[in-house]
Amino acid sequence: MNPEFMHRAIACSSENLDLGGGPFGAVVVKDGKIIAEGSNKVTVNKDPTAHAEVVAIRNAAKYLNDFNLSGCEIYTSCEPCPMCLSAIYWARIDKIYYANTREDAKNIGFDDSLIYDEIPLAIEDRKIPMYSMLRDEALQTFKKWTEKSDKTEY
């Protein structure tokens, strides 16, 4: 736990406001050194997935030339939303440090409550309708993956 890394994540969030982005910033740290930074680029890039943590993870993966960020920590100016939390888990980041809480974010108009509430619901009870189709056809690709001898597992 290093306050200087959190100071940088917060600075990224603040600096991003002047660039037209949202008030979120993140840094990825490995071996006591910042290897990547990210700030919220949703509106700037017209990309709903361009949250600060995701941008920082993408930059860290590019820097390390690896999708596996084991051994890294992430410092983020706000508690990660469900998408960012999932990305952090997929990246295998070891630790998460955050400043603002999800309640703080909700208070300024960034409310993730709906998503948190939707995740545990049965598929048929979610607000966005979901329908399974062509499963047998799609399973053929999964079968091919299972039999592939030269795959890179993740």
Instruction: List the catalytic residue out of 15, 53, 103, 118.
Output: 53
- Can you say how many angstroms the Cα of residue 133 is from the centroid of all Cα atoms in its chain? 28
Cβ(62)–Cβ(38) below 8 Å: no
Tokens 């070891």 -> residue = 94
The token pair at 135 is 């499963």
Rg of the chain over CA atoms, in angstroms? 18
Catalytic residue check, 53: yes
Q: What is the DSSP letter of 110?
A: -
Distance CA 10, CA 104 (A): 14
Positions marked active-site? 53
